[in-house]
Amino acid sequence: MSSYPTEPVFIIHAEDWQQQKQNHPLMQYLHKHKNMFDAQDFDACTQLYTPDFKFTKSTGETFHGKHAVDAFHSEYEKYGSHEHEVKFGVIIDTPDGYVLWGQCDVFVDLPGHSTSKKAKDSSGRDWDCVAHLAFQLDIQGKGDSECRYKSLRFFVNPLPVALEAIKRGLLTAEDAVHGRFSSH
C-alpha cells in the first residue's frame, strides 16, 4: 500500500490501439477525431472543440478560441497527406472530462516531388518523413457525443519535416530558423 494518494489511469498501447475502441468511453471519440483529422476533413473537425479551446505549439506560441482551431488545423493543411500512428497514451479521469498524455508518430507527405521516402509506417507505407510527437490533451465532457477538446499542447522536433520542406523549396532556411514553419 502506498503512502501517497494515487489516481487510476487507462493505458493506451500501440499494439492494440484499434481494438481498444470499446475499452474506455473516450476511445471512440479519439478514433473518430483521428480518422477525420488524418483525412484532412478539417471542416468536420471544428465541431470537436470547446468555444474557448486553447492550442499551444512546440514553440510556446499559444492561441485561443477560433484562432486556436485555425492555428491547429493550419499546421496540417500544409501537408499533402499525413497519418498519426499512436504509440502510447495515458488517460486520466477528471471531474469534468479527461486528460490524455500521449505519444505518436506523424507520418507526412509534403507537396511536390519526392526524390526518396525516408519513413515507413507500421503498415509498410512509405512517407516523406516522420515527426515524433508528444502531447497533452484536455477533454471536456464524458460521453462520445459530449466530448470536446478544451486544450492541446504539442511537444515535437520539427527538424525532419522542415529539412524535407527546405529541400523541396517549400520553405527557406531563414523561415525555418525564425520559426515560421514547424511540423506542429
Q: What is the pLDDT of residues 142-166, one digit of tens each?
A: 876 789 999 999 999 888 888 888 8
Q: Supply the mean pLDDT for the chain.
A: 87
Give the C-alpha distances (Å, rounded to integers) separating 96 from 26, 27, 89, 137, 141.
13, 16, 19, 14, 6
Cβ–Cβ contacts within 10 Å for residue 67, how many?
13
CA distance 86 to 163: 24
- By DSSP bridging, strand 49-56 and strand 148-156 are parallel
From the number of C-beta atoms within 10 Å of its C-beta (0-12, 13-18, 19+), residue 3 rates as: exposed
Domain ranges of the chain: 11-108+132-156
CATH number corresponding to 11-108+132-156: 3.10.450.50
Report pLDDT for 79. 87
What mean pLDDT comes out for the span 50-78?
A: 94
What mean pLDDT comes out for the span 123-146?
A: 91
For residue 125, is pLDDT > 90? yes
Do you know the residue count of the chain?
Answer: 184
Q: What is the pTM of this model?
A: 0.87
